Amino acid sequence: MTNGRQKILKRAVKEIQDGMCVNLGIGMPTFIADMIPSEYNVMLQSENGLLGIGAYPQETEIDPDLINAGKETVTAKMGASYFDSAESFAMIRGGHIQLAILGGMEVSEQGDLANWMIPGKMVKGMGGAMDLVHGAKRIVVIMDHVNKYGETKVKKECTLPLTGQAVVHCLITDLAVFHFDKAGMKLVELQEGVTLEEVREKTEAAFLVSESLKV
């Protein structure tokens, strides 16, 4: 894992508070499960029907039938429960998930999110993201600031199919942290070693800068 992604994950785990019910999207967000402070009582929910996901299993603990929404083998914490997808999505749509941390392909200055498909490439399905961005009480998106071609992923308008419009509350990249509200997109933190000029250079979206900008 790159140093930039380690920075993203370390910052993202700070969004989780003790006692929360949290959904972690597939991809990079799943690594957060191993980073939650051990003293926290956090229930991780997976849309494929598990509440109480634990850390990734050791080799002797692997159960091929126990997986998360990304088809990765996981463990279950004491008190975990299993249920069908209808009940799982009822939890999401009913507003019982306090925080969802999702990966992103693009985020716009309005807080639009595109994270479920690239036209012309095969996808298994839209997954639970479209429900999560409207059902979870807070949406945090984590992603690299630019793609592998050096093009920004923080855009004026998303060019990929949208998962949801104006749904992102917080965006964490390897360069910075942004918050979204009625005033628009605001830069609130810089990752260590990053300058404001670098963020401006690599961001297409228009954004405000917090008066209390910090590292």
Q: Catalytic residue positions?
A: 47
Q: Give yes or no for a contact between 157 and 205, defined as CB atoms under 8 angstroms apart.
A: no
Strand partners, 140: 101, 170
The closest alpha carbon to 154, from 199, 194, 192, 184, belongs to 199
For tokens 């070693």, what's the residue?
193
The closest alpha carbon to 206, from 109, 94, 124, belongs to 109
- CB neighbour burial string for 110-141, b if at least 16 within 10 angstroms, e if fewer: bbbbbbbbeeeeeeeeebbbbbbbebbeebbb
Which residues, including other chains, have CB under 8 Å from residue 152's CB and lie 6 or more apart? 145, 146, 202, 203, 204
C-alpha 147/C-alpha 153 separation (Å) is 6
Beta strands in 57-138 (DSSP E): 76-82, 99-103, 106-108, 113-114
